[in-house]
Amino acid sequence: KAGVTQTPRYLIKTRGQQVTLSCSPISGHRSVSWYQQTPGQGLQFLFEYFSETQRNKGNFPGRFSGRQFSNSRSEMNVSTLELGDSALYLCASSSGTTRYNEQFFGPGTRLTVL
Amino acid sequence: AQSVTQLDSQVPVFEEAPVELRCNYSSSVSVYLFWYVQYPNQGLQLLLKYLSGSTLVKGINGFEAEFNKSQTSFHLRKPSVHISDTAEYFCAVTDTGGFKTIFGAGTRLFVKA
């Protein structure tokens, strides 16, 4: 079974721009979660989508948004980029139907904001 | 709300020595507990999980962890580490009613020859 894939792997943007990151979950998985990883803050939960609906949301500003398509692929968008948005963005997929959340992570997209 | 505290940001250890990575959590409800490992330039990989039952959980690569409900801890141990265990380790909790996972800040394990 193919793992979780994320594109692009690396991205450089400037302040004020917007960016879209993509995540393809493991086949059959319906839940996709997004995390921001930075050296100072560790992994911070952004949001989780299940069957095209946002089911959980972290404490990030509205500049961070996401969506999920009918094939479970998910995109994350960040508008009006700030320097502090530089981070590794990780996507994780799971079946989403069990009461525990064993997640399978992609390699991440490293975003650098200049 | 839940929180996870990993008590050590970095743990240096010599090869073949034992290691313990500490994790404490706070939650008003029952939780599931996890340890993940992240090798350089990779995503996270599940090491082991505690859902219920025996409080001693065995995972991959010779790691094990013990759930202690009274101390709200879930420490990770390995009796003899290898150079290849050098990585960052994350403790995580999920409340049994939801699908949101909270991660600790991570512990960087550095195994020296």
Q: What is the pLDDT of residues B65-101, one digit of tens each?
A: 999 999 999 999 999 999 999 999 999 998 776 667 8
Task: Summarize the confidence of residues B7-15 as an average pLDDT.
Answer: 95
Q: How confident is the model at residue B53 (pLDDT cuts 50, 70, 90)?
A: confident
Task: Summarize the confidence of residues A76-92 as an average pLDDT.
Answer: 96
Per-residue pLDDT at A2: 79
Q: Give dist(CA A50, CA A28) in Å, integer.
A: 12
8 A C-beta contact, residue B64 and residue B48: yes
Q: What is the pLDDT of residues B20-36, one digit of tens each?
A: 999 999 988 888 999 99
A33 touches chain B (CB under 8 A): yes
Lowest mean pLDDT among A67-71, B45-49, B76-80, B92-96: B92-96
8 A C-beta contact, residue A71 and residue A9: no
The nearest CA of chain B is from the CA of A64 a distance in Å of 17
Give, in order, the Cα–Cα distances in Å from B30 to each of B35, B52, B93. Answer: 17, 10, 10
Dihedral, CA atoms, A25, B108, B6, B63, nearest 10 degrees? 70
A100 touches chain B (CB under 8 A): yes
Interface with chain B: mutation pick from A23, A32, A43, A105, highest number of B CBs within 10 Å: A43
Q: Give dist(CA A94, CA A86) in Å, integer.
A: 26
Q: Is the pLDDT assigned to residue B9 strictly greater than 80?
A: yes
Helix (H, G, I), strand (E, B) or coil at B84: helix
Q: Give the residue from B96, B83, B108 showing the smallest Cα distance to B6.
A: B108
b/e burial code for range A84-98 (CB count within 10 A of at least 16 → b): ebbbbbbbbbbbbee
Per-residue pLDDT at A63: 97
Alpha carbon A28 to its chain's center: 18
Task: Summarize the confidence of residues A71-100 as an average pLDDT.
Answer: 91
Give the strand pairing for A10-13 and A109-113. parallel
A103 touches chain B (CB under 8 A): yes
